[in-house]
Amino acid sequence: MATPHNSAKKGDIAKTILLPGDPLRAKFIAENFLEDVVQFNSVRNMFGYTGTYKGQKVSVMGTGMGIPSIGIYTYELIHFYGVKNLIRIGSCGAFTDKLKLYDIILASGACTNSNYASQYELPGTFSAVASWNLLSKAKEVADEKDIDVTVGSVLTGDVFYGPNQNEWKKWAQMGVLAAEMETYALYCNAAYAGVNALTILTVSDSIVTKEETSSEERQKGFTKMMEIALEVAKREGMGNN
């Protein structure tokens, strides 16, 4: 069943999907890590692919930038295509000098300055957290591969270029590790539907030190994050066999 944003048919997409923001990163993962790859989507150039990783069926698809974009794509993946495990793999800007370029964060929770959760008409503020099932597997995989990771909360922001250049310091004071633009919506959509979600991030720039990576490095250089996500996807697939 196609949607306005996805030309896939029911069954074309695996139960577990990796979700980079950049569709070219989805293409890179499919071409370099998956076997027997079939492209299921190119609508709006938001590329999606399904293949196998070490014998397990896995999909990967871009989500674009920001809460509205990932909100649409993940809603459709969950409700129209039956996806049960959604693993965002993205970049972030560090709020602490303890995090260096290419360091990896497992986002246990997401703060936000967005009003996304207002749609649920909750009598309070929703705390958007990762699924423990995926988070614990990711930490286990990282330890086995001897990959250092930091577990903690991130900020999902609606604004990339803002007038208050020091606003990040208030979030840092509360122990928030880094800024990105999608996780809060992903965790909300997953929680509401009763499915699993996790965000794994690689530090692409530091708001503290002003260091940054190039777009090409972000597209192709985040292999450790990809390896963790793919191994989690494989184990999740094995558990569902």
Among 12, 22, 103, 205, which one carries the catalytic annotation?
205
Question: Is residue 17's pLDDT more than 60?
Answer: yes
The residues spanned by each domain of the chain are 16-239
Tokens for 15?
A: 């139960």
Q: Any idea of the CA torsion for 130, 218, 48, 32, to the nearest 10 degrees?
A: -110
Average pLDDT, rounded, for the chain: 96
Architecture of the domain defined by 16-239: 3-Layer(aba) Sandwich (3.40)
Instruction: List, in sequence order, every residue forming a beta bridge with 153; answer none if it has no partner.
Output: 109
Residues 230 and 28 sit within 8 Å (Cβ to Cβ): no
Residue with tokens 């699924």: 131
Question: Is residue 240's pLDDT more than 90?
Answer: no
Q: Write out pLDDT tens, residues 39-58.
A: 999 999 999 999 999 999 99
Confidence of residue 26 (pLDDT cuts 50, 70, 90): very high
Q: Write out pLDDT tens, residues 121-171.
A: 999 999 999 999 999 999 999 999 999 999 999 999 999 999 998 999 999
Q: Is 205 a catalytic residue?
A: yes
